Amino acid sequence: MRIATWNVNSIKVRMEQVGDWLTQVKPDVLCLQELKCETDQFPKDYFSALGYDATIAGQKTYNGVAILSRHHLVDSLIGMPEFDDHQQRVVAATVNHVRVISAYCPNGESVTSDKYHYKLNWFNAFNGYLKNQIASHQKVIVLGDFNIAPADLDVYDPKAYENDVLCTDLERQAFQDLLSLGFIDAYRHCHNDLPGFTWWHYRMNAFKRKMGLRIDHALVSHSLLPELSDCQVDALPRANERPSDHAPLFVDLSSSNPNS
């Protein structure tokens, strides 16, 4: 079963790009972030025509997450029940006995911003949420835009980002705290020494100059690790006209039968 994630930076702008990618790559599940539209404005019929069901938590202008699936979505959950937050950043559903969570984690803006403190508080709540999810479901995978580059290898120029948002010690510790719950960083498990960039700034011709960061991740629970056969970044859509600033990331699970 192939499970993917993509911060599309507006589903209205990039609906057809997503549709083309689904047609070409044919993932069983695609987690989306930064929809930038209300739930009732999400183009559900467009994706249904491509064979995908959807669970959506939309929000106007900012945020918004969704899960698209070629298979039945059950036990959907929007948001983190124990964290009072008006921002739509988390949605979960079960697909073929695998709990799939799509997350759009806060950016933080800058280390001197109130948004940075919100980010740290949000990750603390997310930690508790995932602890409950992994206790309730045997197989769990968390995908999305984490807005954290876990190590210097994940940054094109570590010195340029030293003590900057996305790369601070507190953010990186928050990421490690998630792993300590019983998760594996799928890309880093499969690729020890490749940067695996998933995001490139729109400015400075960053994509062509390979000035990227690895901030989109897939975390698999230890129980799913025997099924993890591959994890890849598909950078081709980043070269599209009017692209998202993120590229899709996908995980292949060898034993999760899509037809079960």
Domains in the chain (CATH in brackets) are 2-253 (3.60.10.10)
- Contact between 151 and 172 under an 8 Å Cβ cutoff? The reply is yes
Low-confidence stretches of the chain (pLDDT < 50) are 259-260
pLDDT in the model for residue 258: 53
pTM beyond 0.85: yes
The residue type found at 68 is L
pLDDT in the model for residue 21: 98
Are β-strands 249-253 and 2-7 bridged in parallel, bridged antiparallel, or unpaired?
Answer: antiparallel
- Contact between 7 and 34 under an 8 Å Cβ cutoff? The reply is yes
pLDDT in the model for residue 42: 98
User: CB neighbours of 35 closer than 8 A, spacing ≥ 6?
Assistant: 8, 10, 11, 42, 56, 58, 59, 63, 64, 65, 66
